[in-house]
Amino acid sequence: MIRLLVTLLVLISLAAVAVAGVSDWAMTWFASEGPLKEEKVVVIARGSNVDRIAETLQTEGVIDNANFFKIAVRIKQVGGKLKAGEFLFPANVSAEGAIEILSKGKAVSRKVTIPEGRTSWEVVEILNATPGLTGEIEVLPPEGSLLAETYHFQLNATRQSIIDRMTKDLASTVDGLWDKRSKDLPFKTKEEALILASIVEKETGVGSERDVVASVYTNRLRIGMRLQADPTVIYGITGGQGPLGRKLYTKDLKKPNPYNSYMNTGLPPGPIANSGVKAIEAVLNPAETEFIFFVANGTGGHTFTKTLKEHNRAVKKWRAFKKSQKTN
């Protein structure tokens, strides 16, 4: 009986030593350089347990032994801290480093850029074509209700969540700028400011011109002159669903439409696109000028003038430039 008891104690001791040896081996492996040859982005699926995470890391080449990884996680008692998401692992990251990334690191941030002057329909098209986003946008956002900007997101964020952020950011941007506006503006509401900002966005892609273009339109509003903005006519034809695909004809300018600023005085009934911060700033604090005309100058910008006579000369130069381009 005593001999059996001694034998049992010996076996238990050997088992304990073996377990300790395996644990020591696992912990040495845990801190050693991993097999990953170059940095790699790995997706840890939502709802993954420790076993699945270990298998994913081994399959992706981040670690070479899923079992050791699971032992190390349990010894460190960090199983509940490992996160799902899209993570960047550096070359030769150790299992210890991988756990650090999954428990404390930030998931990879993706981004989508919404250029200034895009319509809501075009914004939805951009989001629908953006990899990494999920879900559908069931209701087209109101025109002009979104802030054109770059938005960061994590894998599997919903498209609607980006729309919600754009809407919230626009509201907070306008609220923040409204009290800093010039006091003699020819419009009274934030909504009217966004209408004019959308026109400015469509009229120029040159950042330094925004406040000057804004001054032209505020000057016209002050004297009761029609805005005569081609982009408003185009919006009235397309409804914001993509480009016109052709040049504007004289008959377009004479066709009755709420957005036809050649026929109607004042601002159109709503924005014709979504604006960025700079255009909103420009219409709330336009340059102080006497300009009421502008025309393209062939360099991407515009020539601004005070009188119709000066404007007609600028138009003549612009037409001559276009003709020279066709013959070259």
Q: What is the pLDDT of residues 108-151, one digit of tens each?
A: 889 999 999 999 999 999 999 999 999 999 999 999 999 999 99
Q: Which residue bears the tokens 């409204």?
A: 178
pLDDT in tens, 167-202: 999 999 999 999 999 999 999 999 999 999 999 999
DSSP state of 181: S
The DSSP annotation for 204-259 comes to: ---GGGHHHHHHHHHHHHHHT-----HHHHHHHHHTTSS---S---HHHHTS--TT
- The residue-averaged pLDDT of 232-254 equals 94
- The residue-averaged pLDDT of 220-246 equals 95
pLDDT of residue 10: 45
pLDDT in tens, 264-320: 999 999 999 999 999 999 999 999 999 999 999 888 899 999 999 999 999 999 888
Up-side HSE of residue 224: CA atoms within 13 Å toward CB? 0
pLDDT of residue 14: 47
CA distance 219 to 290: 7
pLDDT of residue 300: 84
CA distance 172 to 213: 24
Mean pLDDT lowest among 11-15, 50-54, 208-212, 215-219:
11-15
For the chain, what is the mean pLDDT?
90
For the cut 90, the answer to whether the pLDDT of residue 15 exceeds it is no
6 pLDDT tier (thresholds 50, 70, 90):
very low
pLDDT of residue 182: 96
Question: Structure tokens of 41?
Answer: 């982005």
The whole-model pTM stands at 0.81
Q: Are the beta carbons of 187 and 174 closer than 8 angstroms? A: no
Q: Are strands 150-153 and 110-113 parallel, antiparallel or unpaired?
A: antiparallel
Residue 125 backbone phi and psi in degrees, to 5: -60, -40
* Domains observed in the chain: 30-104 (3.30.1490.480), 110-168 (no CATH), 187-327 (no CATH)
For the cut 50, the answer to whether the pLDDT of residue 18 exceeds it is no
54 pLDDT tier (thresholds 50, 70, 90):
very high
